[in-house]
């Protein structure tokens, strides 16, 4: 996307608001919506990957040592990972200003 | 030029759709549109028309199919009436936002209830703000001609908007009229092949119908509004070219005896011909009366309308729909607000009549003229609108 949405004038829009660039949803920062953020306690984590599977936005990445963490560009803070984690090692913490 | 045939207007319209070489027809039968769809399905079944006829399970599906087929670049037609339009309502608003040039005939019929199958304009007025190009036809010839016109305007890349051709139910759909058909060569000259601005195709993937956040929605609506406003230039050109080809020149606003007229009737659709007869009679009695017929409803032809009513002192606006608890019929309230800023704004009286097919005769229009004269002279109180002919 050349311009961000807020820079576009009505004349810049494609006819019918067609999105002519496939796959550009990856540029959409859903992390903006977040008010709480998941924090992992690797002490309790058994690396089962349940959080990874349940994240509705595929915002959880596997780290090099086999644990998991949220990609904060996309993580909306929905808390599903914390709810589903088997061992209760994910805590949702308030985002500070 | 083609031959002149006596034919039911619905069948003629269907034949015109065939001559326009449509690719996809998706429609659900509903009175009084039925004969159009039935005839198209026969034409496809008999191999006379090489098109997909999709007998959908509802009008909601009809309009959804139309959006899909138009999006892949197929010339697309549907038609409906009243409750069918109400059922497809959700998608009716989406088609112009996606700039899909679907052609739809709306065989005008009142919206229930009470349940009614008869003609008025309550259906079309319920979608006044849907963003389609909307116009009215007055007789069978106009209906036939305007099928070609509709495809040509809608599919023009500078327009790329759906178009709704209004045709009064029964009064037009079910009558047999002499209609001059176009020959196929004329159609070919008038109507180019459909080349969509955007096309859903695997070779060039695009997303259509995506969501719009608050940060872009207003811009999207501005672009859509401008597209509809700008379509007028293409509409005028399409009428001009049609005139040059077949000899019938149409205008966004037609006038009848407006020269020197102090009072004009404003009509839309098939009642126009009856109003003209009333004008003849009033003129014969020395009354300076004329008539303005609004053919193009969206985009509203501001300049042409202003020109047509210049110098007029009284205007009698005929509405065929009710705005419950409002300031008048949809046409009159719009005309009043449009003329509000004009100098010498005429006095506007508004008669709601011809609901659900109730006959409105020449005498009735003359009575409306009398009533208007009385109101203007202050003999009776001016009212925002009068539901004409109602039994007290
Ligand atoms: S909070 Fe929601 S979006 Fe963020 S990582 Fe967990 S499941 Fe995914
Ligand atoms: S669900 Fe819990 S235990 Fe399993 S990998 Fe994710 S954080 Fe670790």
Nearest CA to B53 out of B65, B67, B68 is that of B65
Residues of B engaging A, defined by a Cβ cutoff of 8 Å: 97-100, 160, 197-198, 205-208, 210, 212-213, 215-216, 218-220, 222-223, 226-227
- A80 ligand 1 Cβ < 6 A: yes
pLDDT the model gives residue A6: 86
What is the structure's pLDDT at A25?
Answer: 84
Of A6, A17, A20, the CB nearest to B212: A17
Beta carbons of A17 and B197 less than 8 Å apart = no
Q: What's the gap in Å between the CA of A49 and the closest CA on chain B?
A: 32
CATH code where residue A61 lies: 3.30.70.20
Determine, yes or no, domain membership for A22.
no
CA-nearest of B293, B297, B291, B193 to B253 is B293
Positive or negative torsion for Cα B172, B176, B104, B248: negative
Chain A residues in contact with chain B using a Cβ-Cβ cutoff of 8 Å: 5-6, 8-20, 22
Mean pLDDT of B191-201: 97
Residue A7 in domain: no
- Rounded to whole angstroms, the Cα distance separating B326 from B333 reads 9
Would you state the pLDDT for residue B342?
87
* B291 beta partners: B256, B265
Residue A4 lies in a domain: no
CATH superfamily to which B4-246 belongs: Thiamin diphosphate (ThDP)-binding fold, Pyr/PP domains (3.40.50.970)
Q: Which helix (H) or strand (E) holds B192?
A: none
Residues in chain A within 8 Å Cβ distance of B219: 8-10, 12-13
Mean pLDDT to the nearest integer, B40-51: 98
Total domains, chain A: 1
pLDDT in tens, B376-388: 888 777 788 999 9
Whether A3 is covered by a domain: the verdict is no
Residue that is written with structure tokens 């936002």 in the block:
B97
Stretch B33-46: mean pLDDT: 98
Rg over alpha carbons for chain B, rounded to the nearest Å, is 21
Bond prior to B259 in cis (omega within 30° of 0): no
- For ligand 1, say whether the CB of A38 is within 6 Å of any of its atoms: yes
Dist. CA B346–CA B135, nearest whole Å:
24
The answer to whether the B4-246 and B253-387 domains have the same CATH topology is yes
How far is residue B196's CA from residue B203's CA, in Å, rounded to a whole number? 15
Ligand with minimal distance to A63 CA: 2
Encode pLDDT of A77-92 as tens digits: 999 999 999 999 999 9
The answer to whether the peptide bond before residue B299 is cis (omega within 30 degrees of 0) is: yes
Q: Closest chain B residue to A21 measured between Cα atoms?
A: B206
Domain ranges (residues) in chain B: 4-246, 253-387
Give pTM, 2 decimals: 0.92
B219–A13: do the CB atoms touch at under 8 Å?
yes
User: Collapsing DSSP states into helix, strand and coil, what is residue B77?
Assistant: strand
User: Does A97 reside within a domain?
Assistant: yes
Ligand lying closest to the C-alpha of residue A52: 2
What CATH architecture is B253-387? 3-Layer(aba) Sandwich (3.40)
Q: B123, B97 in Cβ contact below 8 A?
A: no
DSSP letter assigned to residue B182: P
Ligand nearest to the CA of residue A93, numbered in listed order: 1
Nearest-CA residue of chain A relative to B161? A16
pLDDT for B291 equals: 98
B40 pLDDT higher than 90: yes
Q: Do B98 and A17 touch (CB under 8 A)?
A: yes
Tell me which DSSP letter residue B355 carries: G
The pair of three-digit structure tokens given for residue B213, joined into one six-digit string: 């956040």
Rounded Cα–Cα distance for residues B219 and B162 (Å): 20
Kindly determine whether residue A15 and residue B160, on different chains, have CB atoms separated by under 8 Å: yes
On chain A, the residues whose CB falls within 8 A of the CB of B98 are: 16-17
Q: Is A12 within a domain?
A: no
Q: Does the beta carbon of A68 lie inside 6 Å of ligand 2?
A: yes
Is B343's pLDDT higher than 50? Answer: yes
Which one of B208, B222, B227 has the shortest CB-CB distance to A18? B208
B98, closest residue in chain A (CA to CA): A16
Please indicate whether, in this complex, the C-beta atoms of B97 and A17 are within 8 angstroms of each other: yes
Per-residue pLDDT for A1 more than 80? no
In this predicted structure, which of A28-37, B143-152, B174-183, B232-241 has the lowest mean pLDDT? A28-37
- Domain assignment present for residue A19? The answer is no
What average pLDDT score do residues B64-84 get?
98
Query: Could you tell me what percent of chain B has a pLDDT over 70?
Result: 100
């Amino acid at each position: 996307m050349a311009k961000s949405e807020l820079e576009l004038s009505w004349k810049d829009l494609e006819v019918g608001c067609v999105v002519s660039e496939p796959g550009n949803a990856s540029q959409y920062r859903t992390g903006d919506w977040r008010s709480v953020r998941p924090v992992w306690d690797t002490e309790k984590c058994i690396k089962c990957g349940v959080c990874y599977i349940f994240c509705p936005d595929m915002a959880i990445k596997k780290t090099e040592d086999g644990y998991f963490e949220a990609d904060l560009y996309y993580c909306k803070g929905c808390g599903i990972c914390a709810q589903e984690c088997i061992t209760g090692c994910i805590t949702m913490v308030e985002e500070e200003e | 030029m083609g031959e002149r045939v006596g034919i039911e207007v619905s069948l003629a319209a269907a034949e015109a759709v065939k001559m326009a070489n449509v690719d996809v027809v998706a429609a659900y039968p509903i009175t009084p549109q039925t004969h159009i769809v039935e005839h198209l399905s026969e034409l496809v079944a008999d191999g006379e028309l090489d098109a997909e006829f999709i007998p959908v399970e509802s009008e909601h599906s009809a309009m959804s199919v139309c959006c899909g087929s138009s999006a892949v670049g197929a010339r697309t037609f549907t038609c409906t009436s009243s409750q069918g339009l109400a059922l497809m309502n959700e998608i009716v608003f989406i088609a112009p936002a996606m700039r899909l040039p679907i052609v739809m005939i709306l065989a005008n019929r009142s919206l229930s209830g009470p349940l009614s199958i008869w003609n008025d304009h309550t259906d079309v007025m319920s979608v006044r703000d849907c963003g389609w190009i909307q116009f009215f036809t007055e007789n069978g010839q106009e209906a036939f001609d305007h099928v070609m016109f509709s495809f040509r305007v809608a599919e023009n890349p500078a327009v790329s908007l759906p178009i709704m051709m209004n045709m009064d139910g029964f009064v037009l759909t079910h009558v047999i009229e002499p209609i001059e058909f176009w020959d196929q060569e004329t159609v070919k000259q008038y109507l180019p092949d459909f080349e969509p601005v955007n096309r859903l195709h695997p070779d060039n993937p695009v997303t259509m119908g995506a969501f719009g956040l608050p940060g872009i929605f207003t811009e999207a609506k501005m672009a859509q509004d401008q597209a509809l406003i700008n379509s007028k230039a293409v509409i005028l050109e399409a009428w001009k070219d049609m005139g040059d080809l077949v000899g019938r020149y149409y205008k966004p606003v037609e006038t009848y005896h407006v020269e020197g007229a102090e009072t004009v009737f404003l009509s839309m659709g098939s009642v126009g011909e009856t109003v003209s007869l009333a004008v003849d009679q009033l003129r014969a009695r020395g009354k300076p009366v004329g008539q303005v017929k609004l053919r193009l409803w969206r985009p509203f032809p501001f300049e042409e309308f202003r020109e047509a009513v210049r110098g007029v002192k009284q205007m009698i606006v005929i509405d065929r729909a009710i705005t419950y608890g409002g300031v008048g019929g949809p046409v009159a309230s719009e005309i009043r607000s449009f003329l509000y800023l004009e100098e010498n704004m005429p006095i506007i009286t508004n008669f709601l009549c011809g609901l659900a097919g109730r006959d409105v005769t020449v005498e009735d229009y003359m009575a409306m003229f009398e009533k208007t004269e009385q109101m203007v002279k202050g003999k009776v109180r001016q009212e925002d609108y009068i539901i004409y002919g109602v039994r007290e």
